[in-house]
Structure 1
Amino acid sequence: MKMVEESEKTFDPQEVIEEFEELSKDAGRIQEETLQKILEENGRTEYLQQWSLNGKTDQVSFKNCVPIVTHKDLEPYIHRIADGDLTPILTGKTINTISLSSGTTQGKPKFVPSNEELMESTMQIFKTSFAFRNM
């Protein structure tokens, strides 16, 4: 609740819109930087190590070695995290929340792991959406 209260006190819709528009001017670069950061932070995870990256964290190696997967492919790893395994399985950052999806895909809810950074990103998406809707 504290995070929501802090967000409400500092929320300036115009500032959020301006920041979004500035970042959107060079979206390709931002996407590349974001992927690079993710690869560097997670390059030593169990999941990425199985794809013979051998410590490489560049985008070309990632795209060439790591297949596109579905949630079902990741379920065994997610269940280990849900069961309390704290080793860096899917992410180098600590998973501190596991939510259940709404179950709208194939009718069954799925575990969705998250961490502080994902929560902050989600809040930013909500702020940006709110700012544009109320513009």
Structure 2
Amino acid sequence: MKKLILTFALALMSIIGFSQEGGATITITIDNVTSDKGKVLTSLHTSETFMKGKGIQNAETEIKDGKVTISFKNVLPGEYAIMTLHDANENKRMDFQDNGMPLESYGISNNVMSFGPPNYDEAKFIVEDKDLDLNIRF
């Protein structure tokens, strides 16, 4: 009887363990950060969270030699966009000049550079069942 219970418990733990894994890993590389001062803040967004605050996953990374690598794990299939910011003064937000222009470097997925705020439709990409490697430029 003990063997049966132990076997059942191990089988249940295996099933639970496998069910928690899933989705793709998105690895983002940014290799043109202008200084190692501060941190890089990166957010994974859906259309519902884009430009409205925190993403569905968020990361804060130190900079080494002008480069960072960030990974978002267990991302379910769907449509997403990434926003990233060099928070040089570590105040956890983007700083602006008096005329509204950003003081700190930023980038979005698909490396779209436009005048004005980022646009979700230009930054979106599709996650399927395999891992993605993205390079974002500031």
TM (normalized to structure 2)?
A: 0.18
Bigger share in helix: 1
Larger Cα Rg: Structure 1 or Structure 2? 2
Bigger share in strand: 2
TM (normalized to structure 1)?
A: 0.19
